Amino acid sequence: MQAYICYTGCWMKSSAGVYDESPAYTWIKTFSAPFLRRAAIRCIATIIYKFFLGQYHAALLGRIPVSRVDHQLDEKIPFKPAWIKIYLDFVPYWIRMLSFLLRKFGRRSYSQVREFIVSMGELYSYAAETYRKNLSTTKRPFYLARPHFFFIHLLDPHLMCVPSLHVMVVIWTYIRFADILRILGAAEQYSAQIDEMKQGALAITEAILFVKQHSVNCIPAALYAMTRFNPRLFPPEEADSFIDRLFDSAPKACPYSPPKTKLRGEDIAAIKFHIRILYRQFLAARSSDWKEPILQFLQGMPVK
């Protein structure tokens, strides 16, 4: 059985689509409103400190153990450089979401937009609780044929793989987007955009595998982290739904139009099974400290 994978984040090209929003609009509106600006500055500072500076500090000093988290199923997923733009969209993805809310709802959305910005900084701090104890890495090709990869190799020491912050960020974005629209009483009106955002999260999750920035082991850890971060918005049922839709074909107009990527049906089934089982194993630990099951998993992996 063959499965042909199109970009599952094929955001709908319509005037009301979230993908059509401009990230620049978010920056203008956010930094022109003191109520939002202070939160944005703190969020940016947290992201720089917890993710970028944290990695370089660890890489230079080498005092934190680094586990290799590759899995044999990674070999079933081909390296596809054409997916790099989708991978790199994980930040514009959530900034466009804020643009949609600010443009559609104006000041009505300010409190929710501010809360989301604050929570994004909290999410980075939350993931960093694991990175401070045990770093992780994967094998990735040294590929420089596209400029995007040059900057990735230059700027990313590749030491914060488990849990995947990329996956955590896009999951938090789509579930909070739906939640905010419910709070604003507009979830039914914008149901298509809610699904659009989920498709985008799925696409970026697939992209991290196709460009070899993460292992299949990184995804269940991220799903588990999100269930512990907010069990109301990301319960196990929503995690199962997310896993079910990974690698599903989506015959919609693709903004980046990446080439179709062929995976065997049995390989897709094996990848989804592994993600689901490891996610449930993390949950089954029922640890009072959310990061303990992940740290135990990392300590059982080979050390770099």
Q: Residue 113: which pLDDT band, with cuts at 50, 70 and 90? A: very high
Distance CA 16, CA 13 (A): 8
Please give the pLDDT value at position 254: 46
> From residue 76, how far is each of 84, 112, 147, 244, 268 by CA, in Å?
18, 41, 26, 18, 9
User: Which residue, among 97, 282, 280, 75, has the nearest Cα to 174 in the 3D structure?
Assistant: 97
Three-class HEC string of 30-90: HHHCHHHHHHHHHHHHHHHHHHHHHHHHHHHHCCCCEEECCCHHHHHCCCCHHHHHHHCCH
Query: Kind and range of the H or E element at 130?
Result: helix 110-131
Q: Which two tokens stand for residue 231?
A: 């069990």
Confidence of residue 6 (pLDDT cuts 50, 70, 90): very low
Please tell me the pTM assigned to this model. 0.91
Q: For residue 240, with 0-12 CB atoms within 10 Å meaning exposed, 13-18 middle and 19 or more buried, which class applies?
A: middle
Predicted local distance difference test score (pLDDT) of residue 11 = 39
Task: Write the pLDDT tens digit of every residue in 137-168.
Answer: 999 988 888 888 888 887 778 899 999 999 99
Tens of pLDDT along 187-237?
999 999 999 999 999 999 999 999 999 999 999 999 999 999 999 999 999
- Nearest in space to 212 (alpha carbons), one of 304, 87, 58, 55: 87
Percent with pLDDT over 90 in the chain = 73
- Report the amino acid identity of residue 273: F
Q: Residue 214: CB partners within 8 Å, gap ≥ 6?
A: 138, 161, 164, 166, 167, 208
Placement of tokens 């997310």 in the chain: 242
Enclosing H/E stretch for 239: helix 236-245
Give 146-206 as a DSSP string: SHHHHHHHHH----BTTTTHHHHHHHHHHHHHHHHHHHTT-TTTTHHHHHHHHHHHHHHHH
Pairing of strands 66-68, 135-137: parallel
